[in-house]
Structure 1
């Protein structure tokens, strides 16, 4: 629905206080809000959505009510708290972020969304008189780690609270709005796709910059600029002529001999074109730091001499409390030198105090070039004149994947500062794998669908049961956006089933009807096919099982023959691997290749043909080591057997059921009919359509009420473990309801069993860290090691509880609790007992790779958060007291500075 009203009442008063005129979408949304409706506002980054949230604050204060303003991260909460305090005064605005509480009884309170969720579950008195809730960055509900919190809040807020939801542009705003209407009542959806500052798209090829689109073409279609296409073609031809144009590498990636334009030259070119300040997005922390270091090695200086004093003042404001002894470890002097030259990096691995310094300097125009990871695109207020993308591929946690149109739009959305720039610019740096038409496709596609990540967990389920009972909880889950989207997806499946059923009826008639002999005959044919397929799967499974077993039994130094593929031939085992189900031993082949092999390389079981002695330490990454070992392998005299015969005897050959079915088919009356082949063809179509229809039915069954089924499984496990009894939450369950952590049930079980009694503060911090820390390297680190015997015992006991829990979760078909990770145990122990930052960093991290200072601080604060919860929930006064001491021990030095 759309609102076009003259400005009257509170909106007129609010508008009069602004230094700018409201845009139409802002006016429409504010009018809807004043008219008594909830509002969903979807608009591009920088369009001014927060004005609608600020009008909700104005309405609440004018009516003597309360307004909660929620944001996804503490940094945004602090930013909004400062803005609203400046506007309304300290007495009227408060802040709650978990580790900060300022004026919490104020009529306007800014908070993280998690804080509001916890208030709702606790039925906090602070909810009395609440009239409005602003949910900034509501599209965070798509976040797979934290998104459920937004839906919990939307579902649990009292019906008389008006909700103001502010979202980035999403392509399914109407769908989201329709769901909001069903769960919150009358909701106005206001969508604006107009960027407040126009965005120009460019591609930089070498030192030359081109427009991406042909803006002068009269054609309605989006065309790539012809000059750009022509120049890239000439560049590639010249490169080949100069010997730069060799084949791409074997993985289809860029040519290894391509030399991109150095970053200092890129920035110098942008500066010459008047396109600074700029953010260059690089999709790795090391890449950002490396880019900054490259610029520091050059003569590039983007700041003016008269700015140094202002830069130093802001640096001192954020970092003045850092211990002087830690500055060298933190790389403070190099970081400060970069800022003096107008350059900076920005990523989650940086110390928060450093990050916040960079943000303020950039907003004030004192830093003019920032190298950042994509996390900067999420909410932090750092617009630039230009956004530069070095690559259009990023690592998504599992593989290197191309940017989606939504990601491209989100990143380039930073370009163009409202009220400062007349236009923004997005610049893609050309590399051999960059296709101009593909870039044009990214830049011209506006698809950013919002997908719910909501699913019930232990804490959510126990709180729902405690508040409303299992039946109402189940009904509430069925009202979630996740189930709403799932049910909508079912509509198409149901229509498909109906169409197929109609077609099946016609085919049945051709086959002689339900009682006709041919329907039975083709049913027999289908059963034979299914049985043959099942037996073949069993045969493959048996062969794979034999290969898995053989690979797990191999030992270091065993010589094997890889039977097939490019690596076929002799190989020696460098590192065995006994991973259940998927062993991948590291091998070196006789042709000097080193890498991991898998079951796919062994269609027949691996067999040790002999053994060779290996040095104690083998660095397979070194060419000389590979060469020497391959030579030694060839000189063993062991020879590879001939190529194995594939096609081992199938289980089908001896299967009685299959034999019976085949005999029944041959003796069936329809088997001798003259029209059998023609009818068989009809029967094949019938069977294929019947299989397709059954698959669709199974999808519908799996989708419908899927969240409620998950809830029922969680409820069964919680009842089994004594957290719920006869539909009521027990005392242990009430403790679980107050634990908001990823491993919530595991924490509750460890507290119940008293596993952490007798530990000192530093030891408790170390043990608790295994439940929050997550190694950046795949697979985590779960060693039984620890700096003290009590830590080793407690970690071992915690892992035992986790193992039992995982077994129960598998039995109940539930998502498994995350594996504990001991990679932070020694680091946080040293820090909590008073060791220096350098020693603590060296003792932390992923298998010998020290953590960055920013990561160290982040994990320390997560340990503090869980220790705070343990302090508030543990029945044992000793554990509660130790947890409080541990919090005080960790919250010092760099961990305590600039804790926003």
Structure 2
């Protein structure tokens, strides 16, 4: 394009190099940046926010300064590195991701945000002459695991550095911008909510596709398409009539005849409508793989006129270095066939080389349908014409929950390719449980607040003390976005307290004044209620404690009676559990059900009624085993007692304090007044407002300076353990300052105490993995086992130190450190000693389920990262050398290929 006279000088030069006209929000943000302001840009996916980041690169080069371009994930860093290298040449652009270091002294360096944070804490020379920093996807600061890194960088960067923050659309952009203004100085907030490619919303019912919204919908009034509502009602009525007309019924009523359209037919239907390429989001890796397999079995071929030689060339570019012996294990041939048919899956369980192949083929239009988990929506540049959502519920790590409006927008934001499509399409597949009004609400809501996840940890705290001292560190924490948001919430609480205090004065006047008899009398009533609540709570606690103790003492083969719930009756203990506070033994009932029970299943503590012999190995997952054991249980002759009842006596019947309060109440002069009950209603209201006011006061007290108080507790623990002495960081503390891992303090303690001495490279890798690996199943596997005696000893010592650390954290009222997890010990040990990939995968994973190749590679690289840090920071040269050897042993085969 030709230079625009209305643009500032450098922006005019920059715009002249572009092949498109700048949008108004891009011009506004770039102008503010050239005028010396920091910039926060919030705009939808695909709107072109990165143009502002690229202008920051242009400004830095024009002024002879440096620009760091940060991204949250390595894949995005690699992508941006390729883009900037193509524009400015390899000699002017570098890359730092932890895995790779390319031209780190270049004037433009792309890196992950963690790398920049580490450079700041290390006072790296590379920071000299830094004039601009781009923080792409800055809304990641809401991420509860990694979000603190973004705030650390924002708070620590030199004030002279111009910060360009690029975010998805959030509803509190002004609040975030106000905080940025507070901590970074003049910051322009630029918000654009216009999608560059309009998005149409649809619902597919069987083979018919409807618009979601009625043509008369507006911002003020959202209407669901009447044809869609009518068709669904007709379909449901037809199913109901057919079901009640004599068709087979399931439990709980008439059988549902509706079946979702098979995936191959969904894709064929989209192809008929000209809506490919499409991404179908399925919130499960196994679901993505299963969908792909279903399409392959169907014979569906979307490859069309694709050139197979081009497809093969791209496959070879990414996978050519994979060991031939591993291809069968990786499912290479089926994966390759799917790509030739224009089909693919995309999820974190895939080998990185496979994922990157899929991404390139999709962008080039050679793959036309991808089944993906939601991770694809987080920054990967892989837009489609259409996005399909099979379900509107996903597992959030704890439970199955409905999609939030923000998640829905993030996923459907992939629909519509700028410069290719004139419109994008989002398609929800209808099922009987789908409420079209709820879908319309998801698609039309525009409220996505950004909430800080910032909180001090051990590494952060030790670095703050080392750089600033404890007092300055507290002040910096009080400037965080987390505290900024907390303090804003305090304003509303304080107003509420003031309002309630006025109401209390009025109510007290109606009761005869602050010093009147009735306030004293109702104070006694309130104390009696509180004491009764305390005693009831104590009774429940004692009952649970007794129930937990009883469950903990049960042994394999004990026959018990489950006293409550659907599983009431006899059961035999298959696998005891002594987990402190929440034992959940595995049982088999006389009704052939196998599963875990908890203290909630027992109204009174469980007691053995007898015993039965069990086979040495019981596979409770097979129906035959359950049937045989249930039959043996019934034949023992043990009978369940009548369902026990809890003691219904009132709690506190013999409590002296409660008795004294009740006597004082009866003796009070107000107790015999004729108008007592009329005034009682006012007294109850007074007490309710007083309780509410006290609750708000406590919230204010806990919210104000909450991060500084957490920091003080951390410092107390670090002083107790010798990492800080009289406000100064010790030598051990400086080692902790250089360890960037979730279990940073535990790693530092293990190194200091020499717990990992005497291990071989593969053994050290196995032991280190327990501080990195996280099982996908609920609760990791915790137990001192391992393939060699040195591993078992070192793991046991590591777990013992973790247990001591958790006790200290409890005393200092700090959140507990994560548990060690042994699920990767066997797999990484085999791999590091040179075993085949198939054997290493089988030895990894949760409860006998092998890891996927992608997960295996990801965890190997996490172990490598921690081993690299041990090599750099261990005082013991033997441990450091072993760590270096372990890194070389792991970095082979699939782990070494496509290390991005």
Tell me the TM-score normalised to structure 1 length: 0.97
Please give the residue correspondences for 1:396-435 in structure 2 after superposition, counting only pairs within 5 Å.
396-435=396-435
The answer to whether the aligner puts 1:45 opposite 2:27 as a matched pair is: no
Distance 1:93 1:768 in 2: 34
On the 8 A contact 1:586/1:597 being kept in 2, the answer is yes
On the 8 A contact 1:278/1:368 being kept in 2, the answer is yes
Deviates more, 1:509-518 or 1:478-487: 509-518
Please give the residue correspondences for 1:561-576 in structure 2 after superposition, counting only pairs within 5 Å.
561-576=561-576
The answer to whether the aligner puts 1:99 opposite 2:99 as a matched pair is: yes
The answer to whether the aligner puts 1:366 opposite 2:375 as a matched pair is: no
How far the C-alpha of 1:628 sits from its partner, in A, is 4.0
On the 8 A contact 2:67/2:109 being kept in 1, the answer is yes
Distance 1:817 1:218 in 2: 50
How far the C-alpha of 1:5 sits from its partner, in A, is 9.8
Match of 1:201 in 2: 201
Match of 2:888 in 1: 888
**Cα deviation code 1:615-658 (max 9, x no counterpart):** 44444444444444444433433333233333344451111111
On the 8 A contact 1:539/1:650 being kept in 2, the answer is no
Match of 1:169 in 2: 169
Match of 1:705 in 2: 705
Match of 1:652 in 2: 652
How far the C-alpha of 1:126 sits from its partner, in A, is 1.1
The answer to whether the aligner puts 1:871 opposite 2:864 as a matched pair is: no
**5+ long unaligned stretches in structure 1:** none
**Cα deviation code 1:274-299 (max 9, x no counterpart):** 00000000000000000001111111
How far the C-alpha of 1:423 sits from its partner, in A, is 0.3
The answer to whether the aligner puts 1:285 opposite 2:297 as a matched pair is: no
Match of 2:542 in 1: 542
Deviates more, 1:353-362 or 1:540-549: 540-549
Distance 1:875 1:616 in 2: 47
On the 8 A contact 2:275/2:385 being kept in 1, the answer is yes
Q: How many residues align?
A: 895
Match of 1:662 in 2: 662
Distance 2:106 2:250 in 1: 63
Please give the residue correspondences for 1:144-155 in structure 2 after superposition, counting only pairs within 5 Å.
144-155=144-155
Match of 1:389 in 2: 389
How far the C-alpha of 1:221 sits from its partner, in A, is 1.8
Distance 1:367 1:651 in 2: 68
Task: Specify whether residues 227 and 247 from structure 1 end up closer, same or farther in structure 2 by C-alpha distance, changes over 3 A only.
Answer: farther
Task: Specify whether residues 218 and 21 from structure 1 end up closer, same or farther in structure 2 by C-alpha distance, changes over 3 A only.
Answer: closer
How far the C-alpha of 1:321 sits from its partner, in A, is 0.7
Match of 1:858 in 2: 858
Deviates more, 1:882-891 or 1:36-45: 882-891
The answer to whether the aligner puts 1:607 opposite 2:601 as a matched pair is: no
Deviates more, 1:585-594 or 1:129-138: 585-594
On the 8 A contact 2:306/2:366 being kept in 1, the answer is no
How far the C-alpha of 1:218 sits from its partner, in A, is 8.5
On the 8 A contact 1:535/1:650 being kept in 2, the answer is no
Task: Specify whether residues 343 and 823 from structure 1 end up closer, same or farther in structure 2 by C-alpha distance, changes over 3 A only.
Answer: same
Describe the SS at the equivalent of 2:653: helix
How far the C-alpha of 1:255 sits from its partner, in A, is 7.0
How far the C-alpha of 1:764 sits from its partner, in A, is 1.0
Distance 2:335 2:565 in 1: 50
Distance 1:502 1:184 in 2: 40
How far the C-alpha of 1:60 sits from its partner, in A, is 0.8
Match of 1:897 in 2: 897
Task: Specify whether residues 788 and 597 from structure 1 end up closer, same or farther in structure 2 by C-alpha distance, changes over 3 A only.
Answer: closer
On the 8 A contact 1:255/1:432 being kept in 2, the answer is no
How far the C-alpha of 1:566 sits from its partner, in A, is 3.2
On the 8 A contact 2:576/2:586 being kept in 1, the answer is yes
Distance 2:730 2:574 in 1: 53
Match of 1:688 in 2: 688
Match of 1:512 in 2: 512
Deviates more, 1:413-422 or 1:829-838: 829-838
Describe the SS at the equivalent of 1:653: coil
Match of 1:751 in 2: 751
The answer to whether the aligner puts 1:57 opposite 2:57 as a matched pair is: yes
Match of 1:21 in 2: 21
Match of 2:134 in 1: 134
How far the C-alpha of 1:791 sits from its partner, in A, is 1.1
Describe the SS at the equivalent of 1:689: helix
On the 8 A contact 2:786/2:826 being kept in 1, the answer is yes
Describe the SS at the equivalent of 2:213: coil
Task: Specify whether residues 572 and 763 from structure 1 end up closer, same or farther in structure 2 by C-alpha distance, changes over 3 A only.
Answer: closer
Describe the SS at the equivalent of 1:209: strand
Task: Specify whether residues 502 and 255 from structure 1 end up closer, same or farther in structure 2 by C-alpha distance, changes over 3 A only.
Answer: farther
The answer to whether the aligner puts 1:828 opposite 2:828 as a matched pair is: yes
Please give the residue correspondences for 1:266-665 in structure 2 after superposition, counting only pairs within 5 Å.
266-665=266-665
Match of 1:849 in 2: 849
On the 8 A contact 2:763/2:829 being kept in 1, the answer is yes
Describe the SS at the equivalent of 1:344: strand
**Cα deviation code 1:84-113 (max 9, x no counterpart):** 111111221111111211111111111110
Deviates more, 1:844-853 or 1:856-865: 844-853
Describe the SS at the equivalent of 1:654: coil
Describe the SS at the equivalent of 2:279: strand
On the 8 A contact 2:571/2:589 being kept in 1, the answer is yes
Distance 2:312 2:378 in 1: 27
**Cα deviation code 1:428-452 (max 9, x no counterpart):** 1111111111111111111211111
Task: Specify whether residues 313 and 18 from structure 1 end up closer, same or farther in structure 2 by C-alpha distance, changes over 3 A only.
Answer: same
On the 8 A contact 1:240/1:246 being kept in 2, the answer is no
How far the C-alpha of 1:796 sits from its partner, in A, is 1.0
Task: Specify whether residues 559 and 791 from structure 1 end up closer, same or farther in structure 2 by C-alpha distance, changes over 3 A only.
Answer: closer
Distance 2:248 2:725 in 1: 70
Distance 1:603 1:749 in 2: 44
Match of 1:115 in 2: 115
**5+ long unaligned stretches in structure 2:** none
Describe the SS at the equivalent of 2:243: coil
Match of 2:143 in 1: 143
Deviates more, 1:401-410 or 1:672-681: 672-681
**Cα deviation code 1:345-379 (max 9, x no counterpart):** 00000000000000000000010000000000000
Distance 1:405 1:631 in 2: 51
How far the C-alpha of 1:248 sits from its partner, in A, is 8.3
**Cα deviation code 1:54-104 (max 9, x no counterpart):** 111111111111111100111111111111111111221111111211111
Task: Specify whether residues 633 and 882 from structure 1 end up closer, same or farther in structure 2 by C-alpha distance, changes over 3 A only.
Answer: closer
How far the C-alpha of 1:258 sits from its partner, in A, is 4.4
How far the C-alpha of 1:594 sits from its partner, in A, is 3.4
Match of 1:262 in 2: 262
On the 8 A contact 1:68/1:109 being kept in 2, the answer is yes
Aligned-residue Cα RMSD (Å) equals 1.9
How far the C-alpha of 1:241 sits from its partner, in A, is 3.3
Describe the SS at the equivalent of 1:415: coil
**Cα deviation code 1:22-76 (max 9, x no counterpart):** 0000010001111111100000000000000011111111111111110011111
**Cα deviation code 1:456-475 (max 9, x no counterpart):** 00000000000000001011
Deviates more, 1:383-392 or 1:827-836: 827-836
**Cα deviation code 1:393-452 (max 9, x no counterpart):** 100001110101100000000000000000000001111111111111111111211111
The answer to whether the aligner puts 1:719 opposite 2:719 as a matched pair is: yes
Distance 1:273 1:436 in 2: 22
Distance 2:318 2:364 in 1: 15
On the 8 A contact 1:41/1:167 being kept in 2, the answer is yes
Match of 1:676 in 2: 676
Describe the SS at the equivalent of 2:739: coil
How far the C-alpha of 1:886 sits from its partner, in A, is 1.0
On the 8 A contact 2:197/2:421 being kept in 1, the answer is yes
